[in-house]
Amino acid sequence: METIGQVKTYINELLPNGVSSTTIVTLINNELRKNWDYLTSTALYSFNTSSGVGVYSLPTDVTIGMVSGLQIANTTGSTYYQKYDFSGFDNDLTGFKYYDMLGEMGVYPVPDNTYSALLRHQEYPTLFNSTDISVQFNVDQDWVDYIKFKVMARIAKAGNAPDVDLANGYESDAKELWRRIKMKSSKEKVKVNNNRWSYKDW
């Protein structure tokens, strides 16, 4: 996977410009923030419940909205997991549920023992500092290329003598990648949804 240093070098070689390294990194981070819900793949986070504890911390940079599934073993040491559904503020806590608890994850019913738990969540994309050189992107290569085109389009449109034709060309390249990425993402989500709750997949 490419590093932020390699991406900045690519942008500056293909589109010589007077934009500072700090600004280029800011533009890259802005694209990552705008598209984070499409950018990354899902990951598994394992933890153990505790008897009488109904609220658990989420992994770093993960919010409840990024959680796509929770399963908790039905007995200690079991390889069979119970599916938990998300409960919103207006839903009753019945059955097996997980819910937002002031930025942490509440679990209902409250576990009565130590059980193995598995949380499926979307990763948050790596954001960069202006001094980073060797830090890698944690997103698909197609997204890295998309971000390159979007940033070069912004640079081409900037300044006192914007090159609108060049900017439009980069935007066109970005849109083509966007269509390809969305199609790929849709296919992957269908596959995940069809297999999400099989304990064998966990």
Contact 182, 42 (CB under 8 A): no
What average pLDDT is seen over the chain? 89
Residues 50 and 76 occupy one common structural domain:
yes
As for how many domains the chain has, the answer is 2
pLDDT in tens, 108-132: 999 999 999 999 998 888 899 999 9
pLDDT in tens, 156-166: 999 888 999 99
The residue out of 122, 153, 183 marking a domain boundary is: 122
Q: Is the pLDDT of residue 198 over 50?
A: no
- Which position has the token pair 């269509």? 179
Q: Give the span between the Cα atoms of 149 and 142, in whole angstroms.
A: 11
Domain that holds residue 15: 4-39+127-195
Characterize 45-60 residue by residue with b for buried, 16 or more Cβ atoms within 10 angstroms of its Cβ, and e for exposed.
Answer: eebebeeeeeebebee
User: What letter represents residue 37's amino acid?
Assistant: D
Q: Give the span between the Cα atoms of 116 and 137, in whole angstroms.
A: 31
DSSP state letters, 38-103? HHS-EEEEEEE--TT--EEPPPTT--GGGEEEEEEESSTT-S-EEEEEE--TTS---SSEEEEETT
Indicate whether this model's pTM tops 0.75. Answer: no
